[in-house]
Amino acid sequence: MNWIDIGALEDIPLRGARRIKTALGCVAVFRTGADEIFAASDSCPHRGGPLSEGIVHGQSVTCPLHNWVFDLNTGQAQGEDGRLDIFPVRIERGRVLIEGARLTARSAA
Amino acid sequence: MKRKLVIIGAGMASGRVIEHLVETAPDAYDITLFNAEPRGNYNRIMLSPVLSGEQTYADIVTHDDDWYAAQGITCRFGEHVVRIDRAEKLVIGQNGPVPYDKLIVATGSAPFIIPVQGKDLPGVITYRDLDDTNAMIEAAGNGGKAVVIGGGLLGLEAAAGLAQRGMEVTVLHLMGHLMERQLDPAAGYLLRRDLEKRGIAIRTQASTAAILGDTRVEGVLLEDKTMLEADLVVMAVGIRPETRLANDAGLEVGRGIVVDAQMRTTGDPDIHAVGECTEYDGHLFGLVAPLYEQARVLARALLGEAEDFVVRDVATKLKVTGCNLFSAGDFAEAPGREDIVFRDPARGIYKRLVIEGTRLVGAVMYGDTADGNWFFQLIKDATPIDEMRETLIFGPSFQGGSSADPLSAVAALPRDAEICGCNGICKGTIIDAIEAGARDLGTLRARTKASASCGTCTGLVEQLLQVSLGEDFQAPAAQPVCGCCDLTHDDLRRLIKSRALKSQEAVWQELGWRTRNGCHVCRPAVNFYLLADWPQEYRDDPQSRFVNERRHANIQKDGTFSVVPRMWGGITNPAELRAIADAADKYNVPTVKVTGGQRIDLLGVKGEDLPHIWADLNKAGLVSGHAYSKGLRTVKTCVGTDHCRFGTQDSTGLGIRLEQILWGSWTPHKVKLGVSGCPRNCAEATCKDVGIICVDSGYQVGVAGAAGMDVKETERLADATTEQEAIELTVAFVQLYRENARYLDRPYKWVARVGLEWVRARVVDDMEERARLIAAFELSQSIYRKDPWAEQAKEAQRFQPLADLTLEAAE
DSSP codes, B32-83: EEEESSSS--B-GGGHHHHHHTSS-HHHHBSS-HHHHHHTTPEEEET--EEE
ipTM of the prediction: 0.89
Distance CA B218, CA B201 (A): 18
Whether the CB of A4 is below 8 Å from some CB of chain B: the reply is: yes
CATH of the domain at B187: 3.50.50.60
Best mutation target, A18, A55, A99, to test chain B (most B CBs within 10 A): A55
In this structure, is residue B309 part of a structural domain? no
At A78 the pLDDT is 87
What domain range includes position B171? 113-237
Domain boundaries, chain A: 3-108
At B424 the pLDDT is 67
Separation in Å, CA B778 to CA B254, B530, B654, B736, B740: 61, 17, 18, 13, 17
Give the distance between the most distant pair of CA atoms in chain A.
Answer: 38
Distance CA B71, CA B492 (A): 66
The reply to whether residue A20 touches residue B802, judged by beta carbons under 8 angstroms, is: yes
At B456 the pLDDT is 55
In this structure, is residue B740 part of a structural domain? yes
Dump pLDDT digits (tens) for B259-282. Answer: 999 999 998 999 999 999 999 998
From B520, which residue of chain A is nearest by alpha-carbon distance? A55
Same domain as B772, residue B674: yes
What count of other Cβ atoms lies within 10 Å of the Cβ of residue B505?
Answer: 19
CATH of the domain at B707: 3.30.413.10
Distance CA B380, CA B335 (A): 21
Whether the CB of B402 is below 8 Å from some CB of chain A: the reply is: no
Q: Which chain A positions have a beta carbon within 8 Å of B798's beta carbon?
A: 13, 18
Whether the CB of A64 is below 8 Å from some CB of chain B: the reply is: yes
Instruction: List chain A pLDDT tens, one digit each, 109 residues.
Output: 789 999 999 999 999 999 999 988 899 999 998 889 999 999 999 888 899 999 999 999 999 888 899 999 999 998 888 899 999 999 998 899 999 878 875 544 3
Query: B356 in helix, strand or coil?
Result: strand
At A105 the pLDDT is 59
Class of CATH domain A3-108: mainly beta
Whether the CB of A67 is below 8 Å from some CB of chain B: the reply is: yes
Same domain as B525, residue B670: no
Distance from CA of A85 to the nearest CA of B (A): 16
CATH of the domain at B372: 3.30.390.30
Distance CA B145, CA B780 (A): 36
In this structure, is residue B681 part of a structural domain? yes
Phi and psi at residue B602, to the nearest 5°: -100, 110
Best mutation target, A19, A46, A72, A78, to test chain B (most B CBs within 10 A): A19
Distance from CA of A6 to the nearest CA of B (A): 5
Query: A15 in helix, strand or coil?
Result: coil
Q: Are B220 and B121 in contact (CB under 8 A)?
A: no
Q: Which chain B positions have a beta carbon within 8 Å of A20's beta carbon?
A: 801-805
Number of domains in chain B: 6
Whether the CB of A72 is below 8 Å from some CB of chain B: the reply is: no
Q: Which chain A positions have a beta carbon within 8 Å of B806's beta carbon?
A: 21-23, 104, 107
Under DSSP, the state recorded for A50 is B
Whether the CB of A18 is below 8 Å from some CB of chain B: the reply is: yes
Q: Which amino acid is at A101?
A: A
In this structure, is residue B454 part of a structural domain? yes
What count of other Cβ atoms lies within 10 Å of the Cβ of residue B531?
Answer: 20
In this structure, is residue B316 part of a structural domain? no
Q: Which chain B positions have a beta carbon within 8 Å of A96's beta carbon?
A: 802
Same domain as B778, residue B661: yes
The stretches in chain B having pLDDT less than 70 are 313, 317-322, 397-409, 418, 421-424, 452-457, 474-478, 808-811
Dump pLDDT digits (tens) for B674-702. Answer: 999 999 999 999 999 999 999 999 999 99
Same domain as B245, residue B103: yes
Best mutation target, B509, B521, B806, to test chain A (most A CBs within 10 A): B806
CATH of the domain at B620: 3.90.480.10
Same domain as B38, residue B56: yes
Same domain as B292, residue B169: no
- Which residues does residue B91 pair with via DSSP β-bridges, in sequence order? B84, B98
Distance CA B489, CA B270 (A): 70
Give the CA dihedral B779, B781, B786, B787, nearest 10 degrees.
150
From A37, which residue of chain B is nearest by alpha-carbon distance? B334
Strand ranges, E, within B697-754: 698-703, 706-707, 711-712, 715-720
The beta-carbon neighbor of A36 closest among B333, B336, B545 is B333
- Chain B residues 532-591 with a CB less than 8 Å from chain A: 542-547, 550-551, 555, 557-559
Provide the terminal-to-terminal Cα distance of chain A, rounded to the nearest Å. 17
Same domain as B298, residue B229: no
Helices in B511-545 by DSSP H: which ranges? 522-533
Same domain as B782, residue B652: yes
Q: How many helices (H) and strands (E) does chain A have?
A: 1, 10
- Which residues, in sequence order, are CB contacts of B656 under 8 Å at separation 6+? B568, B569, B571, B635, B637
CA B792 to the chain's CA centroid = 27
From B803, which residue of chain A is nearest by alpha-carbon distance? A20
Q: Are B587 and B550 in contact (CB under 8 A)?
A: no
Phi and psi at residue A52, to the nearest 5°: -65, -10
Phi and psi at residue B664, to the nearest 5°: 90, -15
Same domain as B231, residue B255: no
Same domain as B158, residue B81: no
Same domain as B779, residue B661: yes
Query: Within 13 Å of residue B1, how many CA atoms lie on the same side as its CB?
Result: 3
In this structure, is residue B521 part of a structural domain? yes
Q: Is B128 left (phi over 0), alpha (psi -120 to 50) or beta?
A: alpha
Domain boundary among B404, B435, B456: B404
CATH of the domain at B528: 1.10.10.1100
* Burial tier of B336 (Cβ tally within 10 Å: 0-12, 13-18, 19+): exposed
Same domain as B165, residue B98: no
At B467 the pLDDT is 81
DSSP B215-258: SS--EEEETTS-EEE-SEEEE-S-EEE--HHHHHTT--BSSSEE
Whether the CB of A56 is below 8 Å from some CB of chain B: the reply is: yes
Phi and psi at residue B133, to the nearest 5°: -60, -45
